[in-house]
Structure 1
Amino acid sequence: MEKGADGNIISRFTATMFKKNFPDKREKLQNFLAKNELKLIEHFLFIGRHSSRVDYIYHGTPLHGSWISKKKY
């Protein structure tokens, strides 16, 4: 990761670079995601960033799409 004189990040690294440079952190992250997959998906889809719970999600265009119920999930 490259930083400028002011300490701000100039460039970031790729996923491949992260995997190579931080294998332990990557493994911890992968384990966390695998262990909490269902809870994370439910939170991202049905609760959101501001705890605004929803019962359905619509995926598609205004003319054609599908509703997904939390109960079916």
Structure 2
Amino acid sequence: MHANDNSPTLVSLNDAARMTSLSRTMVNRYRAEGRFPSAVPLGDRRVAFVRSEVTDWIQARIDAARSLRAAA
């Protein structure tokens, strides 16, 4: 894969946890509650996440926090 193509990039559960500053347990809990991007199954016990969906989720949290702060 070339760095400049438009294909989605996958990140591991560990990477998604690092990106969000959440524990793996919290990422999995949020997934189960439908509060985190869906995982892409890669094998029997392996999943990954689409990097852009995780970064969009992070940005949505930032926007929500700023919106609350601005309303106060």
Band of TM-score, shorter chain:
under 0.3
Q: Which has the higher helix share?
A: 2
Q: Could you say which structure has the larger radius of gyration? A: 1
TM-score, normalising length: structure 2: 0.27
Work out which structure has the larger RCO, using CA pairs closer than 8 Å and 6 or more positions apart in sequence: 2
TM-score, normalising length: structure 1: 0.27
